[in-house]
């Protein structure tokens, strides 16, 4: 079975990592798809996000990292994906995720969506909160994996003019 976990991952957080670690063992192929953030200005480019995710999961043989500019479901169809995996942090995510799952079910009836609930200890983490903490020089250790922390610090330094 092939699973697809799509998202902006701008940046990857411990919440995302938790979902990947809990669910990837159930699938022969687990594709983490870095999508363009529609309507959102991204902090990291798609290539940067993909590189960071790759460095976090490089030892996991069934995890593949890719990016795509078009409709996620078209990518899923082309790659013969069986399951789309999404995460649910709070009730506030519910309406949007179910609406997307329902649209996708009508357009692509053969592909199922699985909505996984976040672990309580990670349910408060979002990429947006991570960026706010990073912009204000806060401690990122309990929010993101090490490679993400390093990438955030170095990109912020670079943006602040220390382009070494
Ligand atoms: P998008 O911009 O498509 O929502 P995100 O990168 O924000 O992409 O998230 C990708 C997926 O991971 C979404 O399904 C989101 O609900 C889920 N997710 C985000 N943060 C967490 C978390 N802390 N725990 C579990 N799932 C999460």
Taking Cα atoms as reference points, which of 17, 3, 2 lies closest to residue 144?
17
Question: In which element (H, E) is residue 2 found?
Answer: strand 2-7
Q: Which residues contact 54 (CB under 8 A, 6 or more apart)?
A: 65
What is the whole-number distance in angstroms between the Cα of residue 34 and the centre of ligand 1? 11
pLDDT tens per residue, range 2-38:
999 999 999 999 999 999 999 999 999 999 999 986 6
Q: Which atom of ligand 1 sits closest to the CA of residue 115? A: 14
Contact 121, 106 (CB under 8 A): no
Please tell me the number of Cα atoms within 13 Å of 129 on its side-chain side: 13
pLDDT tens per residue, range 46-62:
999 999 999 999 999 99
Going by CA atoms, what residue is nearest to atom 21 of ligand 1?
A: 15
Distance CA 140, CA 55 (A): 18
The mean predicted confidence, pLDDT, of the chain is 94
Going by CA atoms, what residue is nearest to atom 8 of ligand 1?
A: 7
Residue 39 has pLDDT above 90, yes or no: no
Question: In percent, how much of the chain has pLDDT > 90?
Answer: 89
Is the beta carbon of 86 within 6 A of some atom in ligand 1? yes
Instruction: Write b or e for each residue in 97-110: b if 16 or more Cβ atoms lie within 10 A of its Cβ, otherwise e.
Output: eeebeeebeeebee
Q: Catalytic residue positions? A: 16, 40, 89, 127
Going by CA atoms, what residue is nearest to atom 25 of ligand 1?
A: 118
């Amino acid at each position: 079975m092939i699973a697809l976990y799509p998202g902006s991952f701008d940046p990857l957080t411990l919440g995302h990592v938790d979902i990947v670690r809990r669910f990837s063992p159930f699938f022969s192929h687990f594709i983490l798809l870095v999508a363009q953030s529609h309507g959102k200005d991204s902090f990291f480019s798609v290539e940067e996000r993909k590189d960071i995710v790759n460095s976090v999961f490089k030892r996991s043989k069934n995890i593949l990292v890719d990016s795509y500019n078009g409709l996620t479901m078209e990518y899923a169809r082309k790659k013969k994906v069986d399951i789309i995996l999404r995460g649910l942090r709070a009730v506030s995510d519910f309406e949007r995720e179910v609406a997307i799952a329902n649209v996708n079910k009508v357009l692509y009836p053969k592909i199922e969506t699985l909505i996984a609930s976040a672990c309580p200890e990670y349910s408060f983490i979002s990429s947006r909160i991570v960026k706010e903490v990073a912009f204000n020089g806060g401690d990122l250790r309990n929010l993101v994996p090490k490679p993400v922390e390093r990438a955030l610090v170095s990109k912020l330094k670079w943006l602040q003019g220390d382009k070494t």
